[in-house]
Amino acid sequence: MARETWLTGITTSGTPHIGNYVGAILPAVKASHDTTRDGFYFLADYHALIKNQDSARLIQSRKEIAASWLALGLNVDHVTFYRQSDVPEIMELTWMLTCLASKGLMNRAHAYKALVQANLEQGGDQADPDRGVTMGLFGYPILMAADILMFKATHVPVGRDQVQHLEMTRDVAQRFNHIYGEHLVLPEAVVDEDTAVLSGLDGRKMSKSYDNTIPLFESAKKLRKSVMRIVTNSQEPGEPKETEGNTVFELYSAFATPEQTAALAQAYADGIGWGDAKQQLFELLDGQLAEPRERYEHLMAHPEEVDAILATGASRARALSQPFLQELRHAVGISV
């Protein structure tokens, strides 16, 4: 079997929360230790620019996300960890692909479609369907295709909502190969059906857009405060409680061993009070996060260590992207 190349992009917006940790970061960090395959992990800061015009926030988020992944044990000796913007060849490939991508297909990209839909719903007859739509947002899937095709990725782990972008990537790559010869590798989306989607403080899906997250590396004191803010019902201590659909229980079981989960289920049946249940959740989280939190704090205080790792990643990445882009420039007739 040919060697596989896995590629993971991380949009640098927001502060990582425990939902990201369980659903995306932890499985990806684990995968970085699998030396039977090659791995590319990058900070998608060009993507972050699409929705974020606050430059200070962008810098801060990139710092936090890089430090988080490193603190959690991303194996940077094996995989290539870099910033998208340190690989300018991606931009040039984006343009080559833009010239091949059909606009009709892009019209169907869900981030764009959702915005158009919202404009139509709000604006009635007078609505401008493209209100607030930049060319960056519209072309987002093409930039993503360039990220993937540049490093000849064979496997791209994504959430359900991104599967469509992988189809677009394959489509544009096929078109390129048809016109210019076989240069691009067609990637495949890998959707992990089992990864948990966690609930947030208010019981809705944990998401920065709902402002209901528990940040991954906040101090123990703040973490405890966040956990105590989780919304519960008004049942008193002593009353037996449902585990099903209960946020405290759900978060607990995402981090606990099966034995610990069974013990908490028993405590629910026995009528544990919400305060005690939350205290148990806090202790479990804090126990698992204390060590990486220390590494995270160290890295945040020593950004030069993070920058050095990213610089190594960038030079490894460019050792591949520069000659490959040269090959593609030659293929399309930009250079001889």
Stretch that binds ligand TRP, among 154-162, 242-250, 262-270, 273-281 (CB under 6 A): 154-162
Residue placing its CB nearer to ligand TRP in the complex, 83 or 224: 83
Residue placing its CB nearer to ligand TRP in the complex, 108 or 222: 108
CB of 15 to ligand TRP, least distance (A): 15
User: Under rule CB under 6 A, which residues in 38-77 are in contact with ligand TRP?
Assistant: 44, 47
CB of 164 to ligand TRP, least distance (A): 11
CB of 91 to ligand TRP, least distance (A): 13
Q: What is the DSSP string of 218-268?
A: --HHHHHHHHHTS----PPTTS----TT-HHHHHHHHHS-HHHHHHHHHHH
In degrees rounded to 5, what are phi and psi of residue 28?
-70, -40
Mention every residue, 6+ apart, whose C-beta is less than 8 A from residue 72: 21, 25, 26, 29, 292
Among 258, 202, 205, smallest CA distance to 231 is for: 202
Residue placing its CB nearer to ligand TRP in the complex, 71 or 90: 90
User: Under rule CB under 6 A, which residues in 252-291 are in contact with ligand TRP?
Assistant: none
User: Under rule CB under 6 A, which residues in 2-41 are in contact with ligand TRP?
Assistant: 7-9, 11
Question: What x-and-dash track marks residues 134-153 binding ligand TRP by CB under 6 A?
Answer: ----------x--xx-----
Question: Which H or E run includes 170?
Answer: helix 163-180
Q: Does 156 bind ligand TRP (CB under 6 A)?
A: yes
Among 41, 23, 44, 24, smallest CA distance to 77 is for: 41
The CA–CA distances, whole Å, from 143 to 39, 50, 137, 295, 299 equal: 19, 11, 10, 32, 29
What is the contact surface with ligand TRP in residues (CB under 6 A)?
A: 7-9, 11, 44, 47, 144, 147-148, 156, 158, 162
